[in-house]
Amino acid sequence: MTNQQENPRDGQQNGDQDDIQASIEDAQSRGRNDNGSNANHVATNHVSHDHGRQAPTNCGQASNLTTVSNQVTQIISSVAPSVRSVPTSLNLASIHSLHPQGDLKLNNRFMLMQSNDQIRELQTVLRDKVTTRGNFKFYADRLIRLVVEEGLNQLPTEKMDVGTPTGHTFHGIRYLKGNCGVSIVRSGESMEQGLRDCCRSIRIGKILIESDENNHARVLYTKFPKDIAERKILLLYPIMSTGLAVIESVKVLLNHGVREDNLILLNLFSSPRAAKVINKTFPKMFVLTSDINSVCPNHFGQRYFGTD
């Protein structure tokens, strides 16, 4: 019922557009006829000059064209405002975090970046077995940068006013101090440069996790800032197949006094299994990934560092 009330104007606009098209075609038809008459008139003038006589000018034809042109202009002017008032909806690709599929039963702290052509191409190149190591690293760095940039939106900010070169005041924001990164060695180190490119002076800690064939993980090495318990943590780990390395790393951070809701996990590829396990185990931790797929590119670390 609502659509019937909103759309009666469409029929009127279509009818007006048909009138415009018919008037334009009529004007073109008259113009073609007038051109033919002008050609005959020119030929008559030449004949008349050859016999020493002055041929009369055809003023009626120019007057007819002017009249038709004015009529078309009036019709267009009367219809144009209504045509311009029709809203246009554009489907623009953008990078905004969206909730994953509902069947994964994840809460709103697990966010999936909206896919677009750029992200899809980067993921395609990284999954392609014939991609050279140079191209792999180049495209991986691009995807890492996109994920890091989106993840920075989760950091706390405060309002800040600045003076512009034109003498005006701009009401902006700035990030609060006290953030740091933590990479899960080894593949997590591939994301460190992307984080430093966005936050030049940020401190980055490290966690080394060893996993065996029985899916058991243990911590071998940690290095954190002394005041890590007071900081927002950007946890870096590109591939999550089982989620065990992330779970053990988060446990270590919690044992160092870090609050779970101060953790922001930045990830490139995650399996549905890892996504569900991590979200269920740490429901307050924010997780951002670019892809959830049952087949993860587990070769990522070897390809990136050239050890495959």
Would you say residue 92 has pLDDT above 60? no
Two tokens, residue 17: 């557009």
35-44, 76-85, 226-235 — most confident range: 226-235
Q: Mean pLDDT for the chain?
A: 79
Q: What is the pLDDT of residue 50?
A: 43
pLDDT attached to residue 7:
47
Q: 60: which residues sit within 8 A by CB, 6+ positions away?
A: none
Q: In a 3-state reduction of DSSP, which class is residue 227?
A: coil
Percent of the chain whose predicted confidence (pLDDT) is above 70: 67
pLDDT mean over 15-25? 56
Residue 30 preceded by cis peptide, ω within 30: no
User: Once rounded to an integer, what is the mean pLDDT over residues 105-118?
Assistant: 92
Residue 154's contacts (CB-CB under 8 Å, 6 or more residues apart) are 264, 286, 288
pLDDT > 90 in the chain, percent:
58
Q: Is the pLDDT of residue 159 over 60?
A: yes
Mean pLDDT, rounded, for 148-168: 95
Alpha-carbon span 113 to 92, nearest angstrom: 15
Q: Which residue has the higher pLDDT, 192 or 7?
A: 192
Q: How confident is the model at residue 212 (pLDDT cuts 50, 70, 90)?
A: confident
Average pLDDT of the residues in 186-190? 94
The answer to whether 272 touches 240, Cβ cutoff 8 Å, is no
Residue 276: the pLDDT is 94
Question: Phi and psi for 278 in degrees, rounded to 5?
Answer: -65, -45
Q: What is the mean pLDDT of residues 102-111?
A: 84
Structural contact between residues 266 and 92, judged by C-beta atoms closer than 8 angstroms? no
State whether residue 158 is helix, strand or coil: strand
Provide long-range contacts, Cβ within 8 A and 24+ apart, for 152-160: 152/198, 152/199, 153/97, 154/264, 154/286, 154/288, 155/179, 155/232, 155/264, 156/232
- Residue 163 pLDDT level (bands cut at 50, 70, 90): very high
DSSP state of 248: H
Q: What is the DSSP letter of 155?
A: S
pLDDT over 90 (residue 20):
no
